[in-house]
């Protein structure tokens, strides 16, 4: 990651100032909440993808920076909403906006960021980008709703899970990469390759997220470990364990999923069941397949430092700890 941030250091510095510049509103309360989450040290993975993809495609201008900022805004809007939906207390090592200000301001400031993003894109008049971004936003909402419908359902299978994460996470990664291709005015073939690269990368990102929710610890992750199970989210490590578990184990997990309040002991016991059936190892294997697929889609591009960086970023999806 360090080599990547060095390579695009100037673009990243401009990204941060553009983020500040674009959050224009006369309501200081909005800025306070936006800054709370946006300055709390996110990884900026999606903007980095826009920047690298644009540069990979030979883009020489600076218009990619506002688009990178807008993608971070959309991502931030979804986090504000998601933390309300998930009743999350900690993100990026700080209290979530819903904990500090309550659910209503979080949802409404999320709405503001989302609307502001589309206002900015409408005025920049790139119809292709607007289409890609609006399609991705619909997918985000659909993914989150699909996930909601599957809450506490121990019958959730791998295909349903992959559909959820494809929509809620991979769609925005995919759009970020495609936007880079659109700005670089590459062929349709290369544009589609970037779209697929981003999609596979996003799948790997979310799979790792779901592994970390079982194996990391709060301080390293900057989020509460065990939130998925507590909120009744059935993710791949658990799906795999449920598929191979005994009836007794399945019954126990179903009871924990439907419990009003999960205890640390419940979490430990479910973790033990996941460990017994290799749920994390299996999920890592699936993650690796998505990483390999992602890298394969870059074949159509000539070697360059940007291609190299995107390959490294793909590997980082497997190795990341936060």
Contact between 114 and ligand FPP per CB under 6 A: yes
Q: Which of 38, 57, 140, 270 binds ligand FPP (CB under 6 A)?
A: 140
**What is the distance between the alpha carbons of residues 311 and 136, in angstroms, rounded to a whole number?**
23
Nearest-approach distance from CB 264 to Mg ion, in angstroms: 20
How many chain residues touch Mg ion (CB under 5 A)? Answer: 2
In DSSP terms, 258 is beta-bridged to none
Q: Which of 64, 81, 230, 295 binds ligand FPP (CB under 6 A)?
A: 81
CA dihedral 88, 89, 94, 97 (to 10 degrees): 70
Site for ligand FPP in 182-221 (CB under 6 A): 209
Q: Which among 321, 71, 134, 113 has a CA at the least distance from the CA of 221?
A: 321
* Residue 168 contact partner, candidates ligand FPP, Mg ion, none, CB within 5 to 8 A by sort of partner: ligand FPP
In terms of CB distance, is 86 or 266 closer to ligand FPP? 86
101 CB burial (10 A radius; 0-12, 13-18, 19+): middle
Q: Which of 72, 82, 147, 196 binds Mg ion (CB under 5 A)?
A: 82
For 25, list phi and psi in degrees, rounded to 5: -160, 145
Q: Which of 11, 72, 86, 144 binds Mg ion (CB under 5 A)?
A: 86
Contact between 228 and Mg ion per CB under 5 A: no
Q: Is 213 left (phi over 0), alpha (psi -120 to 50) or beta?
A: alpha
Interface positions with ligand FPP (CB under 6 A): 77-78, 81-82, 86, 88, 110, 114, 137, 140-141, 144, 168-169, 209, 223
């Amino acid at each position: 990651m360090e080599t990547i941030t060095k390579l695009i250091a100037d673009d990243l510095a401009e990204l941060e100032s553009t983020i500040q510049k674009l959050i224009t509103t006369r309501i200081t309360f909005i800025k306070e909440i936006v800054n709370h989450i946006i300055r709390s040290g996110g990884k900026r993975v999606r903007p980095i993808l826009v920047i690298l993809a644009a540069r990979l495609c030979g883009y020489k201008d600076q218009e990619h920076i506002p688009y990178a900022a807008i993608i971070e805004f959309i991502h931030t809007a979804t986090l504000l909403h998601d933390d309300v939906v998930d009743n999350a207390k900690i993100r990026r090592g700080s209290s979530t906006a819903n904990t500090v200000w309550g659910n209503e301001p979080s949802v409404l400031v999320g709405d503001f960021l989302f609307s502001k993003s589309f206002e900015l894109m409408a005025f920049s008049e790139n119809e292709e980008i607007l289409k890609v971004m609006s399609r991705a936003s619909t997918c985000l909402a659909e993914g989150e709703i699909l996930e909601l419908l599957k809450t506490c359902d121990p019958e959730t299978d791998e295909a349903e899970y992959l559909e959820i994460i494809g929509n809620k996470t991979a769609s925005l990664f995919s759009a970020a990469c495609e936007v880079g291709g659109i700005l670089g005015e590459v062929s349709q073939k290369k544009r589609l390759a970037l779209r697929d690269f981003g999609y596979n990368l996003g799948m790997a990102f979310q799979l790792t997220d779901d592994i970390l929710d079982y194996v990391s610890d709060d301080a390293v992750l900057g989020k509460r470990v065990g939130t998925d199970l507590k909120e009744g989210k059935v993710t791949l490590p658990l799906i795999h364990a449920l598929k191979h578990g005994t009836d007794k184990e399945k019954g126990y997990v179903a009871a924990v999923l439907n419990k009003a309040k999960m205890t640390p002991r419940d979490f430990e016991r479910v973790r033990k069941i996941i460990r017994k059936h290799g749920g994390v190892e299996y999920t890592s294997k699936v993650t690796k397949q998505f990483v390999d697929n992602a890298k394969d889609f870059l074949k159509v591009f000539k070697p360059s430092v940007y291609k190299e960086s995107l390959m490294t970023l793909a590997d980082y999806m497997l190795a990341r700890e936060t």
